Amino acid sequence: MKLIRYGESKQEKPGIVDSDGRIRDLSGVISDVDGSTITESGLARLRGLDISTLPVVEGNPRIGPCVGNIGKFVCIGLNYSDHAAESGLPEPSEPVVFNKWTSAIVGPNDDVAIPRGSKKTDWEVELGVVIGKEARYISKEDALSHVAGYCVINDVSEREYQTERGGTWDKGKGCDTFGPIGPGW
């Protein structure tokens, strides 16, 4: 099942991609692809639909962020040894956690605004894990039961802001539009 959001920025509608690659409109079934619909029961309801009965979305609409109303955008840095080595940094003994602000979230093909004074804008493709139920102090064995789906993330960074100006990584990672997400699922 591939869920998407399509339409004008901040006015996206929920959709699902059928087996022929066409977008089907889900707005008669759910109001958005967000925390209320990516629960176990919400996804089970969507899996039970005969999507061939849903209206086909005509044309080539803009694809928005694959999830709406995101509460947290938590990222893990240096999450594999080759990346730490290519960055000239030691492999961390604990996860390097940083955030992207929710204003960083845009659709996968939307423009990215380069901040004034940027000298080292960079990007990496990452696997996004969409969490579908509250997750706090869970065991490693139970972790996947909290995953609702996956998406592509374009982790845009301003490396000078991130590593050469002291402080946290957030200021080089969380700029507006620095978190294009989707498509997903």
Residue 135 sits in a domain whose CATH number is 3.90.850.10
pLDDT tops 90 at residue 148: yes
pTM for the model stands at 0.88
Sign of the dihedral through C-alpha 156, 85, 170, 32: positive
Question: 24 and 93 share a domain?
Answer: no
Whether residue 68 lies inside any domain: the answer is no
Question: 18 and 80 share a domain?
Answer: no
Domain that holds residue 26: 2-53
At 27-65, the pLDDT tens digits run 999 999 999 999 999 999 999 999 999 999 999 999 999
Question: 149 and 97 share a domain?
Answer: yes
- The whole-chain average pLDDT of the chain stands at 92
Q: What is the pLDDT of residue 184?
A: 67
Question: 129 and 38 share a domain?
Answer: no
Beta strands in the chain (DSSP E): 2-6, 13-17, 23-25, 74-77, 96-99, 105-106, 121-131, 147-158, 179-184
Q: What is the mean pLDDT of residues 69-80?
A: 88
